Chains A and B, each alone.
Chain A
Amino acid sequence: MIYMDHAATTPVDERVVKAMLPYLSEKYGNPSSLYGLAQEARKAMEDARAKIAGLINAKPEEIIFTSGGTESDNLALKGVALASKKKHIITSSIEHHAVLKTCEWLEKHGFKVTYLPVDRYGLVKVEDVEKAITKDTALISIMHANNEIGTIEPVEEVGKIAEEHEIYFHTDAVQSVGKIPVDVEKMNINLLSISSHKIYGPKGVGALYIRRGTRIEALQHGGGHERKLRSGTENVSGIVGFGKAAEIARQEMLSETERLSKLRDRLIEGALKIENSWLNGHPTKRLPNNAHLCFKFIEGESLILELDFNGIAAGTGSACSSRSLEPSHVLTAIGLRPEETHGSLRFTLGRSNTDKDVEQVLSVLPGIVERFRAISPFKKDFREYESALLKEHHSSGVD
């Protein structure tokens, strides 16, 4: 099988599995206990913390382990909101649901949220961020790179503005960490969400970077783990795997980015030869592994299924969205018409993908698109055919 859905999840790297295994068997100690077995687990956990900190230029004590990206986003937004006297949050309209739904929850609990629009490439305008700031703004949360269309947001500029106005800045970097450089110092970031399973680590573990001195409330109370910010016995094996995955990502990022960018560009170039297709997201400010395409007059789920029968795994956008029938909020925000959003297809490349994989996709994709277009009632325009049909009816009525 050709796996091209790395934005949904990645396979666990064999080196990561190997690093984790002892902590699933003989090294089972609880890091909070005092004896040697427990301290061995604690040390492994702290090593992992340092590796993850190293990947984003943070200090180890600024890393809080969580269950994943969603929890990190929840902790960042709710935790900062609850610790602040201010009641306003600025975010974008294309955030992951982990941020958007958390914002909606905060709105129900007395907070005001500004959802900034994006341009046709999915970029937030830095001046819009500045204009939205009020005396009551507690937090700005803008994602580093979009999970659907791969657009990389101007977080460094947003960070600068946030710092000038002394407002906390959170970024959901789940899709960018390990793929493009992330530097919390350079980018003036106060809080940053990371997920392990997007960087070839295990599922069920993530982290929130919290800059030292940031005022934040815990959401989960108990034994006071993770600097009292996230109680509960730590997922030691998961954390060890996450740390190993971060270490590998740091070592291999530069060469891998270069390799994947070339494959991505070849894939985009080949796919766009299909009529009535286009690329979503920014042509250059995009993740090195993301090719998000639209094919007019056909529907994405059909494409995904047929690609699957051809041994290719791809996505339509947010993996969570396959559970709902709503058009993608990201594609709507960049200005696509609802009927156009349905024909989207997301390829996200990763370590296992080769030139051969890309050529294989390009050899079957045109035929699949053509097949569904032959089934579709729409050939040239979503409305043209409809009006032609109505006219036909009208004239037959006159007879």
Chain B
Amino acid sequence: MYSDKLIEHFRNPKNMGRMENPDGVGKAGNPVCGDVMYLYIKVKDNKIDDIKFETFGCAAAIGTSSMITEMARGKTLEEAMKISKQDVEGELGGLPPIKRHCSNLAADTLRKAIEDYLSKKKK
């Protein structure tokens, strides 16, 4: 059902846990649906300097969360904003069709975290 790479991220998630004093926080999903993701970022010189996640959900939700933290780290905010659901899925070697929408929240959550950072910066 799941690719080896997804299983690897599910079993040994990267950058997992809460971040103290993040520069931006993104949140997506709904506990009612069974998938919720929180993403925390620290920004330095317009680049994602540190990134962590917390996820309530299935293996696909946890795997995509872990995957995107690896994909986004070190990227400029503009580059990170462009990471799509398809990019995350592609990097993992595919997702089961039923898991493509609800459980692949990572790209949306990352965008929200960056938007949160940008809106705070304006103030």
Contact = CB atoms under 8 A, between A and B. Distances in A.
A binds B: yes
Contacts, number: 72
A378 B123 CA distance: 29
A353 B102 CA distance: 36
> Interface of chain B, helix or strand or loop or mixed?
mixed
B58 A375 contact: no
Nearest to A373: B56
Interface in A378-399: 378, 382, 386, 389, 392-393, 396-397, 399
A302 B25 contact: no
B34 A325 contact: yes
Interface string A345-367: 00000000000000000000000
Interface stretch (A90-98, A249-257, A293-301): A293-301
A305 B10 contact: yes
A323 interface: yes
B16 interface: yes
Nearest to A398: B123
Nearest to A382: B31
Contacts of A223: none
Nearest to A306: B11
Nearest to B29: A377
> Interface of chain A, helix or strand or loop or mixed?
helix
Interface string B20-39: 00000101000111111110
Interface residues of A, number: 29
Nearest to A298: B56
Nearest to B56: A376
A374 B16 contact: yes
A382 B56 CA distance: 10
A339 interface: yes
A380 B122 CA distance: 33
Interface size class of B (residues with CB under 8 A): 20 to 34
A377 B11 contact: no
Interface string B33-47: 111111000000000
B42 to A, nearest CB: 14
B54 interface: yes
A305 B57 CA distance: 12
B13 interface: yes
Tell me which of B17, B32, B56 has the highest count of chain A C-beta atoms within 10 A of its own C-beta.
Answer: B56
A327 B34 contact: yes
A375 B16 contact: yes
A376 B55 contact: yes
B62 interface: yes
Nearest to A305: B59
A338 B32 contact: yes
Nearest to A339: B31
Contact of A325 (B11, B55, B102): B102
Interface of B: 7, 10-11, 13, 16-18, 25, 27, 31-38, 54-59, 61-62, 98, 102, 116, 120, 123
23 contacts: A297-B56, A298-B56, A299-B35, A299-B61, A302-B58, A302-B59, A302-B62, A306-B11, A323-B98, A325-B98, A325-B102, A338-B34, A342-B34, A375-B55, A375-B56, A376-B55, A377-B36, A377-B37, A378-B36, A378-B56, A389-B25, A393-B116, A397-B120
